[in-house]
Amino acid sequence: MSTVNVYAQRPEETAKAESPLHHADLPSLVGKGRAGAGVTLREKKLLGHLTLRGDAKDPAFAGGVHKALGLELPMALNVVGSGETTLQWMGPDEWLLICPRGEEYALEQRLREALAGLHIQVVNVSGGQTVLELSGPNVRQVLMKSTSYDVHPNNFPVGKGVGTVFAKSQLNIRRMGEDTWELVIRRSFADYWWLWLQDASAEYGLAIVD
């Protein structure tokens, strides 16, 4: 059996860590948007992101995931969660785990222990992604401008997540509440989507929250 070395990739708190939108200085924009804005944006920055791969049809795999995370393994296009930790189906044998900052190392260890002996893969991708949370009464209108995927409530209920084309690139859209959506985006495209969302939200008003 091969040995896997698991490293705590998160720098100590004394080391400076910058979010993908650090240059946009979002905190300085808090409270400066239009009163009664139809769209509110928050960057859920520096969270832990892990990709998990395994055999969904194997009861030992599903059971091990539940043992490690306390979450049932979600099936196609679903997102499950507990507190600030979520697990999203990404494909027939792939899931995305997002957890609070600093917990990813321990969760990776727990997954590897619970799934020992199975053919799995766990990869820490925290540095390459971030989450933008959009809320408010006009978020769906902004999404309709941005993607060809059908975001009507009949097709996109709370708890659904999909990978799709958004503007001119790809990301994951997750509906986390009636008027709350999340965009899981690649770090290298963070500036592009920040500029896009400002333009797409202009007619409704955009407010930034910390």
- φ and ψ at 81, to 5 degrees? -160, 165
Q: For residue 12, what pLDDT is reported?
A: 62
Number of domains forming the structure of the chain = 1
Residue 131 contacts residue 183 (beta carbons within 8 Å): yes
Q: 36 is in which domain, residue-wise?
A: 22-208
- What is the reported pLDDT for 7? 60
Look at residue 7 and tell me if it is in a domain. Answer: no
Model confidence at 79, pLDDT cuts 50, 70, 90, reads very high
Write out the two tokens for 154: 């009949």
Rg of the chain's alpha carbons, rounded to an integer? 18
Q: Does residue 38 fall inside a structural domain?
A: yes
Give residue 43's pLDDT: 96
Question: What whole-number distance in Å separates Cα of residue 98 and Cα of residue 76?
Answer: 17
Beta strand 121-124 with 48-53: parallel, antiparallel or unpaired?
antiparallel
9 within domain boundaries: no
Beta sheet of 39-44, edge-to-edge order: 161-166, 169-177, 180-186, 129-135, 39-44, 206-208
- Does the pTM of the predicted model rise above 0.85? yes
Predicted pLDDT at 10: 61
Average pLDDT of the residues in 191-196:
96
Query: 8 in a domain, yes or no?
Result: no
In a domain, 17, yes or no: no
* 173 is a domain residue: yes
3-state class (DSSP) for residue 21: coil
Q: What is the largest CA-CA distance in the chain?
A: 60
pLDDT single digits (tens) 5-28: 666 666 566 667 889 999 999 999
Report residue 1's pLDDT band, with 50, 70 and 90 as the boundaries.
Answer: very low
Q: pLDDT tens digits, residue range 57-69?
A: 999 999 999 999 9
Backbone angles phi, psi at 84, to 5 degrees: -95, 5
Q: Is residue 103 part of a domain?
A: yes
Q: Does residue 168 sit within a domain?
A: yes
Which tokens sit at 106?
Answer: 């321990």
Q: Domain containing 81 — which CATH number? A: 3.30.1360.120
